[in-house]
Amino acid sequence: MMSVAAVRLEALSKRYGTVAAVDGVSLAVEAGECLALLGHNGAGKTTLFKLMLGLTRPTGGRLSVLDEDPGARAAVRVRRQIGFLPENVSFHDAMTGRELLRYYARLKDAPRGECERLLERVGLVQAAGGRIKTYSKGMRQRLGLAQALLGAPRLMLLDEPTTGLDPTLRDSFYALIREMTAAGTTVVLSSHALTELEARTDRVAIMKQGRLNVCGTLAELRRAASLPVRFRLTVPVDDGKRLAQRIGAGVNLARVNDHAIELTCPPAEKMAVLREIVTSGVAVEDIDIQPPSLDAVYAHFRNGEGPS
């Protein structure tokens, strides 16, 4: 009987001396789910990947990956079903891309024919005969992705997979991830930017100084952040000042210039403020309402105002 969670972390901690790289993280990733880990450099994302791979041992808490403790001897076999792309992946530069992929395929006991298919999938067929030391950053990243896909893994752990990829490649990368998760593969990836993840991952977990600050869907995160909504009104200058005075408590007058004012208010007050503007009798020429940007949501949790 298999449990549903592909990855389960319970109060997981990892200390290096006095520094807590990972500090009491509890998290479950369901099979077929795509979870994104976000956070500063040094927030603990890479350490979390190393713990999940058994490359380093936790100093507290427990974890299971594909129903096995990654630190146990038996986990060697489990790793056949895991694809991993390290941050800033480095390869044996003297080998060609094809040689390298075949080497890793042999280690994973994956069929040899898969290499050509994967080289094609990541667009490296032409370059596959060249030495890796001649590859650009983006080509290395694609080769890294190809090796992570070897052996049809049940779980993919991808540390900063989209660095060095241009927007087109980034799109095709996320298309690939969608395909994988649709087929039941679980994906855990880390990223610096929340904006590129919009509509691309199921859930987002934001880490700060080793702690899991928040975890949820983007909609949940927006709600939890409760960042102010911004109104931009085009009005004659005197009317604008009058309007701002009239609306009063709970609303901030963010900026005023000759022909426009900006107001901010908590998301819950949005409709009330809107009604107030409309019924005020002030001649508003135009109105623009902006919800908080994803970057603002991310900055909010990353900088620690969130629940902890």
Partner 1 sequence: MRVLFVIAAKEFRDGLRNRWVLAATLLLAGLALSLAFVGSGPGGTVGATRLAVTVVSLSSLSIFLVPLIALLLSYDALVGEIERGTMLLLLAYPVARWQVVLGKFLGQGAILAFAVVVGYGVAGLVAGLGAGHSDAESWRAFGAMIGSSILLGAVFLSLGYLISVGVREQGTAAGIAVAVWLVFVVLYDMALLGVLLADESHVITTGAVRALLLVNPADAYRLFNLASGEVAAYSGLADLGAQARFGAGVLLPVLAGWVLAPLALAAALFRRREL
List interacting residues with partner 1 (CB under 8 A).
Answer: 50, 53, 55-57, 73, 76-80, 82, 84, 86, 88-92, 94-95, 103-104, 106-109, 147, 157
Q: How many CB atoms lie within 10 A of CB 243?
A: 21
Smallest gap, in angstroms, from Cβ of residue 99 to partner 1? Answer: 9
User: Is the separation of the CB atoms in 83 and 151 below 8 Å?
Assistant: yes
- For partner 1, which is the closer residue by CB, 57 or 259? 57
According to DSSP, the residues that pair with 13 across neighbouring strands are 60
Tell me the one-letter amino acid at 193: A
Smallest gap, in angstroms, from Cβ of residue 2 to partner 1? Answer: 19
Distance CA 57, CA 70 (A): 9
Residue 85 has φ and ψ, to the nearest 5°, of -120, 110
- For partner 1, which is the closer residue by CB, 14 or 211? 14
Distance CA 92, CA 98 (A): 12
- For partner 1, which is the closer residue by CB, 155 or 229? 155
- For partner 1, which is the closer residue by CB, 86 or 138? 86
Smallest gap, in angstroms, from Cβ of residue 40 to partner 1? Answer: 21
Smallest gap, in angstroms, from Cβ of residue 89 to partner 1? Answer: 7
- For partner 1, which is the closer residue by CB, 79 or 203? 79
Burial of 167 (0-12, 13-18, 19+ CB in 10 A): exposed
- For partner 1, which is the closer residue by CB, 104 or 298? 104
Smallest gap, in angstroms, from Cβ of residue 38 to partner 1? Answer: 21
- For partner 1, which is the closer residue by CB, 56 or 293? 56
Smallest gap, in angstroms, from Cβ of residue 1 to partner 1? Answer: 23
- For partner 1, which is the closer residue by CB, 1 or 73? 73
Smallest gap, in angstroms, from Cβ of residue 155 to partner 1? Answer: 11
Smallest gap, in angstroms, from Cβ of residue 140 to partner 1? Answer: 12
